Amino acid sequence: MGILDRLLGRSGRQAALLTMTAADAERIVNAYASATIGKRSFVADVAGLPNSKETVKMAILAILSANPDPPVRERLKLLYLSLADWQVGVGPKPLPLGLTQAGAAHPPATRGGAAAGNSRTDVPARVATEAKSLRAELEARGL
């Protein structure tokens, strides 16, 4: 963040949005959409993203701010919300479909022998929390 951004009271995120070109934003969003399509599980490890979540958010917001087409805007909002499906600690293996809020209450042995304390068991709660936060971010922007 530059001195002008500080003087104008811009956050690092606002400054980054101003410097991101339309071509950059499109490239980032296309790469994210491809990664989302290529996921092998409903929830994937954040390490599989082509860019950081923050960078993807900025790119989606940049395109949203410039695109008045309602169907495109709705798809972009869905992509934004789907960032919740990318979580730390999921690992490279697909997350079992049975690992839901109800599934997390079962003993580890009933979940395919997962080790006790495996962070994958709290993934559904993390996804739900982040999805709620992402939705609030969009609503705060009037989207």
CA distances from 127 to 27, 44, 66, 81 (A): 25, 11, 28, 10
The answer, yes or no, to whether residue 110 has pLDDT greater than 60, is: no
pLDDT band for position 19 (50/70/90)? confident
Domain hosting residue 56, numbered range: 3-140
Which residues lie below 8 Å from residue 40, measured CB to CB, with a gap of 6+? Answer: 94
Say what percent of the chain tops pLDDT 90. Answer: 57
**Joined tokens for residue 5:** 């951004």
Contact 89, 117 (CB under 8 A): no
Report the domain count for the chain. 1
pLDDT band for position 119 (50/70/90)? low
pLDDT digits over 31-82, tens only? 999 999 998 888 999 999 999 999 999 999 999 999 999 999 999 999 999 9
Indicate the Cα dihedral angle 58, 140, 134, 32, nearest 10°: -30
Contact 27, 62 (CB under 8 A): no
